[in-house]
Amino acid sequence: MPTVPTLPGIESHVVQTARIRTHVLTSGPADGIPVVFIHGNFSAATYFEETMLAMPDQYRCIAPDLRGYGDTEDLLIDAARGARDWADDLKALSDVLGENPAHLVAWSLGAGAALQFLLDYPDLVRSVTLIDPVSPYGFGGTKDVDGAPCYADFAGSGGGTVNPEFVKRLHENDRSADDPNSPRNVINAFLFKPPFHAAREEEFLSASMLERLGEDRYPGDFTPSANWPNVAPGKFGPINALTPAYFNVSGIVDLENKPPILWVRGADDLIVADNSFFDFGALGKMGFVPGWPGDDVYPPQPMVGQTRAVLERYAANNGRYTAAVIPDCGHSPHIEQPEAFQAAFLDFLATA
């Protein structure tokens, strides 16, 4: 039984693969065209249930909990491999389910796993839909659209950059709305654009709080740095896995066979943005972190600009991408504006 109850029409499975015991949600016919939904940080497959149920009958929807999240087996994330632990886990799941090329739908951190999978296993990808994706150059520590590092040690990225009060409240299993740092309030302020509240708020909160915690889990370890803001990446956990010290999927531009890509983002996203509220460059410039060395040294990471630049190069090298910006929407278009998301997504699938 899954920890979080599922909606009618969604089935829960535990799949033993060669790498990890993976919890998977499914819907649709067993012989349908596979669509794999890959969730982001501080979430789980639960966040895709409504999207899966809205899919046309010809699709088989598959949504795994990634390593470190949900009800999947609790194994370490070797962050020095970037997103490869997740990509290899997805390949192991594909091996069990039949290695049928799939459409990938990846949200936020999950986009890192999806694009790494595309790099490593391109023959298993029919198309990629990116929902408010992490930059191809990772999260934090870079300063231009080509992903140049602010410092050689990538200070300002990795496990040491996570708000310790938020982590403390996760450890306490805090379900209150008494403080801006409570998990519930972080979801409602940043995953969604206020005043939006999800109908399944309690289930989403429960799913998010299944994230594995600890110095070598979430948020991960860190290394002291002489460079502002004085923390550099460690070696374990999901936040370190997306530091540009280890993560760079801009190589998709050089793939010989390029599946079509749909890039969907909320117009008012505060997490993945050119002035992200979770990026030290942006926070320093806004005066929230003292000692900021200025735009010349550590500007806000142009996350949207980096994604756009890589996708433009992808298209210039005989690829194809489509972009959709959904107004009045934060970090979760498939939940906040499901009709607009489904319209863009299904139009894309029809030609993918």
CB 280 within 8 A of CB 156: yes
* φ/ψ of residue 254, rounded to 5: -100, 5
pTM: 0.98
Cα 259 from chain centroid?
A: 20
- Distance, in Å, from the CA atom of 316 to the CA atom of 313, rounded to the nearest integer, reads 5
- pLDDT recorded at residue 326: 98
Percentage of the chain with pLDDT > 70? Answer: 100
- Distance, in Å, from the CA atom of 157 to the CA atom of 147, rounded to the nearest integer, reads 13
* Domains by residue range for the chain, with CATH: 11-152+247-351 (3.40.50.1820)
Instruction: Count Cβ atoms below 10 Å from residue 296 Cβ, excluding itself.
Output: 7
The overall average pLDDT reported for the chain is 97
pLDDT tens-digit readout, 1-44: 799 999 999 999 999 999 999 999 999 999 999 999 999 999 99
pLDDT tens-digit readout, 141-169: 999 999 999 999 999 999 999 999 999 99
- pLDDT recorded at residue 340: 98
- Distance, in Å, from the CA atom of 225 to the CA atom of 123, rounded to the nearest integer, reads 41
Per-residue CA distances from 66 to 93, 101, 221, 288 (Å): 11, 19, 19, 32
Cα 311 from chain centroid?
A: 17
- pLDDT recorded at residue 208: 98
pLDDT tens-digit readout, 196-224: 999 999 999 999 999 999 989 999 999 99
The strand pairing partners of 62, in sequence order, are: 26, 36
Q: How many CA atoms lie within 13 A of 269 on its CB side?
A: 25
